[in-house]
Structure formats: structure tokens, C-alpha cells
A and B are shown apart, each in its own frame.
Chain A
Amino acid sequence: MLAGIGRRGFCKGLAAMPLAVRGMLADPMAAMVPGLPPTMGGLHFGVETFSFHDVQQGDAEAVPSIIRYMTMAGIPECEIMSGHIEPYPSAMTGWWVQTRKAPGFAEMREAARQWRLTVPMDYYVKIRKQFEDAGLRIYYYNINFNETFTDAERDRSFEAAKALGAEAISSSTVLSEAQRLVPFVERHKYHVAMHNHNNPVDPDQFASPASFEKALAMSPWFQCTLDTGHFTAGNNDAVAFLKQHHERITNVHLRDRKRNNGPNRPFGHGDTPLKEILLTIRDNKWPVRCYIEYEYGSFRPSVDEVKACMQYCREVLA
């Protein structure tokens, strides 16, 4: 035990420590990626694998495709969607409430549950190794907790994230589910970062600074994945939120949307203050990781657009 710090105090301090710093202390992998430079312009860049729209969820070839695309785009780390590593039914069990009304949902949900509860952890370890062998890193596991999860499933999701080598879970979830997750993050001593959208009327959703702050107050193990595009579309100020809460923001999702619930646009064409966000993080040396989330319309393959997003960031930071 460290002198003057009890076990409980040490754990609290660990939870409060910015995730990227904690990750580098705990895991030398965080600082090394052979072949690809770990930073660009002083920032750690990654990609939310949702960006690769042409990779089918539940497809056995998803992981090799993602690895190939990340290598092509020169991006060393990712936030991997559960739908990209779980079999098909899991895609129906996540964020979208509408999918729960689909015919046969109950059976699909149960199949996904049984798979999660019985798959050997070695399954995830092998995926981690595939990334590591390519010189890449899974930094976050994106699984979207909701009220259809059993406690056993929640526990299993934390175990899966650890087996993948992820430093945290990033989750599109709601405040009521966050409350249910408190004992899990405390027991696993593991961060969950809440991802926002921009629904203006549902008080259970993460969409405003106040909704994030409610979750952050629930547990020091809760953090934010600030989706800068959705935040801007909801007429919020992403830079101001960064300045106020950077110690609890594990990563930002970079996307460019217009205000007033406007559409996604190519980087530099929307209202998201991407340039200010990137420069503010860099100039303050905050360990906030910057993740591309490509979602604007294009006729080109997704990897080409992810590369274009990276090029925009490169020019901003030059």
C-alpha cells in the first residue's frame, strides 16, 4: 500500500485519473504501435468502427476488414462496436428502441444473451491478438447497455472489454441505465464513458451538459465520450464542455454536423468547431483521444472518407 493512501483512496484516485494517462501507466501497448505513429500532431487519433459502413455487422470477416481499413487509413487505435465482433442477433440488442419491436426480437435477444454468457473469453483475446499482430490497438469497447441486459450480461460485457484489451467501455445509453451500472463499474473498477446523441425532449438521454453531469456525479468511474457532432446539432458548445470537463472526457467523437438538428457534413462544412476542439486539446495537452466517426453521405468507400477526415485533422494540426 502506498504510504498515506488507503486502498479505497487509491482506487478513487485511480478512477479520477485521466484514462489515457492511466492506460499508458498500466499497459505499455498504449504507447507503442509498430508501423503506425501513435500520435498525429501531438494527439492520439482513433476511429469508431461504425465509420466503416461497408463492414457488415455480425460478419465473420468484419475484424479482418476493419484491420485492413485502419491500416489503410493510418489509424492505430479504435473503438470497436460490439456488432462488429458479436454474431448477428447482437446488432438487434443495442441502442435502437425501434429494433425491439421487430418480429422475433425476443428470440434474437435471448440468442444474443446466451452467446454473450457462454462465449469463452479466449474469443475476445484472439480478436485482441489479431489487432496487436497488425500493430493496432482496441482502446474502447462500444457496447450499448440498456434495460434488456441482465446483470450477468452486464458483468460479462465488462469481462469482454478487458479481454479485448480495452481501457474503457463506451456506451450509447441512458441515465436510468447508468444508475443500474454504478455497482458494476465500482466492482470491476472499470470506466464506462457515456456517448451522447441530440434528442432534445427525452430527459433520460445524454444530449446536454446537464445530462452528462448527472452521470458523472453517480460514480467516478463514469466518463464521457463526447460526440462533438451530435452535441453541436443539439445547439450545445463542445469547446466549453471540453474546457469544463476534460478530466472526465476519455475521447471525443469527431464529426461535423450543422446546428439545429442539422445533417452530417464532410469535415469543415458543418457547424462543429472541429478546428477549435483539436487545437484546444493539443494546446492544453489534455489526454483526450480523438476518434473519427464518419457518417456523412458519399459515393466513395468508407475508408476513403475516413482518410479524408484524417487529412482534415492533419491540416488543422500542421
Chain B
Amino acid sequence: MSGPGSMFRHAMVAVAFAIGTMGVAAQTLLPGEAAKPGDRDTGGVRPPTEKLEHGRIVFVQSSCHFCHGTDLTQAQMGAADLMHDQLVGMDVDGNLIGVIAKAGLPNLQTSMPSFSELTPQQISDLAAYVHYLRQVGRYKEAMAYTKPGDAAAGKVFFEGDGGCAKCHSTADRKSVAIAGKAKMLMPAGAVPKEDLTPSAGAVAHQHLLETATVTQWQDVATYMGTLQ
């Protein structure tokens, strides 16, 4: 069946593929999904890399999860929603998260304690783990959307703030059906290097996953649907 709804669904699959292959889904077990015995404890699910596991240890032993939620959902006690907080989206390697964690927020109704004893390495690992949880959660949120968005707004975002057009060419996609799709979804520079260093494309998608709103994803997907 074709039509706007069908095109939107196809586009969402393409977006999911793009994010997943270069960003989150390839590296993770989603919280609560397919956890093997031993992978889950009261601090959540064991993440896929040593750095992230170190970050999880800092996260749990600092009792971040009591207020911010084990997987950043179910934030309690008036704590910041780290899944959607803009400041977390702007953080790079703990440069903002670390400042707040070390200083604490004593003036809140129930104060956030000061974790002044955290080392730079612990801050870096903690931030990596928070970003990881955030990307996993936001990926699920984006993929849960099923309604078409605003194609015109999606085009503006694609070519503007989203930065999509820096790597992806809509012209290629239009000109050659199969090869064009492949070229659009996997442009030059998207393939991870042999040492598994994230590609520039992966880094860009992960950043976008943390900063773009669900509505913006929805609009981009709808715009891509119009390129069929």
C-alpha cells in the first residue's frame, strides 16, 4: 500500500537504519530488552563497553539513579530529566555534567549532593554513560512516532540546523533508485574504521540524537518520504 502514511513509515525505517547503524542500536542492548541473566542488577543493564561500564559504576555508586532513574526515565524527587535536559545535550565529555556533579545543587528544594571527589576519568566515564542512556532512550522515543510530520519543516531542518545535507544528497536519492538510496544513507565517511573508532557520521548522528526533538525527527522522516 502506498500513500503518505506508507512513505512516512518507509522514511522512519530509513531514519532508524541510519541512526541505528551509525549510532546507538549497533552498540547496545536496550534497557529492559533481551537482558540475559546476570546482565541486569539494581543499577540497570550492563552496557557494551568497558568505559560505559565504568560510567555505570560511577552512576550507581554515586546514587544518581535514585533521583534521575536507572535508565534516565522515572526521574523522581524533582530531579532534572536527564533524557531531555538541553544542557546534557550540549555536554562534551563531561565538560558540563562534571561541573554540576562536582559542585552539586545545594539550593534545590532537596539538594543535589556535591560529588566533589570524582576524578576527571570518573567524570568522563559518567558523562559517557549518561549520553549512552540518553541516546538509547531518545532513539526509542523517536522510533515510537507513527504519525507524519511537517515535510516543509523537515526540509528546512535537513538543509539547515540538522546538518543532514552536509553528508546526504537528496539529488542522488532522486536520480538512481537503489544506488541513490544506498549513497544517501551511507555517504562517504559513514563507514566505521577498522579500529571501531566512530565515524564522523556516527558522531554526528549521536549528537543529533541528543539535540534534535522528536518532532524534528518526525518532520525529517516525513520530508524524506516525499523524496520517494
Chain A residues near B42 (CB, 8 Å)?
53-54, 298-302
B61 CB-CB contact with A under 8 Å: yes
> How far apart are the CA atoms of A275 and B219 in the complex, in Å?
60
Chain B residues near A99 (CB, 8 Å)?
78
Q: Is the CB of A262 within 8 A of B106?
A: no
Q: Is the CB of A262 within 8 A of B78?
A: no
Q: Is the CB of B110 within 8 A of A200?
A: no
> Nearest Cβ in chain A — how far from B136, in angstroms?
19
Q: Given A98-B78, A300-B42: A261 and B104 within 8 A (CB)?
A: yes
Q: Is the CB of A263 within 8 A of B110?
A: no
In the complex formed, the residue of B with least CB distance to A199 is: B111
Q: Which of B41, B77, B110, B114 is the most central at the interface, judged by chain A CB atoms within 10 Å of its CB?
A: B110
Task: Out of A95, A199, A257, A263, name the residue touching B106 (CB < 8 Å).
Answer: A199
Q: Given A96-B78, A298-B60: A263 and B114 within 8 A (CB)?
A: yes
Q: Is the CB of B110 within 8 A of A199?
A: yes
B63 CB-CB contact with A under 8 Å: yes
A296 CB-CB contact with B under 8 Å: yes
Task: Out of B61, B66, B104, B106, name the residue touching A295 (CB < 8 Å).
Answer: B66
Q: Is the CB of B66 within 8 A of A261?
A: no
Q: Mark B62-88, 1 if CB is under 8 A from A, else 0.
A: 111110000000001111000000000
Q: Is the CB of A299 within 8 A of B106?
A: no
Chain B residues near A95 (CB, 8 Å)?
77, 109-110
Q: Is the CB of B62 within 8 A of A297?
A: yes
Q: Is the CB of B77 within 8 A of A297?
A: no
A75 CB-CB contact with B under 8 Å: no
Chain A residues near B43 (CB, 8 Å)?
297-299
A202 CB-CB contact with B under 8 Å: yes
Chain B residues near A296 (CB, 8 Å)?
61, 63
In the complex formed, the residue of A with least CB distance to B64 is: A297
> How far apart are the CA atoms of A98 and B59 in the complex, in Å?
22
A264 CB-CB contact with B under 8 Å: yes
> Nearest Cβ in chain B — how far from A306, in angstroms?
13
A198 CB-CB contact with B under 8 Å: yes
> Nearest Cβ in chain B — how far from A115, in angstroms?
20
A5 CB-CB contact with B under 8 Å: no
Chain A residues near B180 (CB, 8 Å)?
none
A2 CB-CB contact with B under 8 Å: no
> Nearest Cβ in chain B — how far from A12, in angstroms?
34
B108 CB-CB contact with A under 8 Å: yes
> Nearest Cβ in chain B — how far from A242, in angstroms?
22
Q: Given A295-B63, A298-B61: A98 and B113 within 8 A (CB)?
A: no
> How far apart are the CA atoms of A81 and B77 in the complex, in Å?
14
> How far apart are the CA atoms of A95 and B61 in the complex, in Å?
25
A197 CB-CB contact with B under 8 Å: yes
Q: Is the CB of B65 within 8 A of A299?
A: no
Q: Is the CB of A297 within 8 A of B107?
A: no
Q: Is the CB of A261 within 8 A of B111?
A: yes
Q: Is the CB of A198 within 8 A of B111?
A: yes
Q: Mark B103-128, 1 if CB is under 8 A from A, else 0.
A: 01011111101111000000000000
A97 CB-CB contact with B under 8 Å: yes
Task: Out of B59, B66, B109, B113, name the residue touching A97 (CB < 8 Å).
Answer: B109
Task: Out of A97, A199, A263, name the residue touching B107 (CB < 8 Å).
Answer: A199
> How far apart are the CA atoms of A18 and B60 in the complex, in Å?
39
A274 CB-CB contact with B under 8 Å: no
Task: Out of A53, A96, A299, A302, name the residue touching B109 (CB < 8 Å).
Answer: A96
A164 CB-CB contact with B under 8 Å: no
Q: Which of A202, A233, A297, A299 is the most central at the interface, judged by chain B CB atoms within 10 Å of its CB?
A: A297
Q: Mark B37-54, 1 if CB is under 8 A from A, else 0.
A: 000011100000000000
> How far apart are the CA atoms of A97 and B115 in the complex, in Å?
23
Q: Is the CB of B110 within 8 A of A297?
A: no
Q: Given A54-B42, A297-B61, A298-B60: A197 and B111 within 8 A (CB)?
A: yes
Chain B residues near A198 (CB, 8 Å)?
106, 111
A260 CB-CB contact with B under 8 Å: yes
In the complex formed, the residue of A with least CB distance to B61 is: A297
A201 CB-CB contact with B under 8 Å: yes
In the complex formed, the residue of A with least CB distance to B60 is: A297
Q: Is the CB of A257 within 8 A of B113?
A: yes
Residues B110-156 near A (CB distance < 8 A): 110-111, 113-116
> How far apart are the CA atoms of A257 and B117 in the complex, in Å?
13
Q: Is the CB of A299 within 8 A of B63?
A: no
12 contacting pairs across A/B (C-beta < 8 A): A53-B66, A54-B42, A96-B109, A199-B108, A201-B107, A261-B113, A261-B114, A263-B115, A295-B63, A296-B63, A298-B61, A302-B42
- Other contacts beyond A263-B114, A295-B66, A299-B42: 8, CB < 8 A: A54-B42, A96-B109, A98-B78, A264-B113, A297-B60, A298-B43, A299-B41, A300-B42
Q: Which 5 A-B pairs have the closest CB atoms?
A: A98-B78, A297-B63, A96-B78, A263-B113, A297-B61
Residues of A within 8 A of B (CB): 53-54, 95-99, 197-202, 205, 233, 257-258, 260-264, 295-302
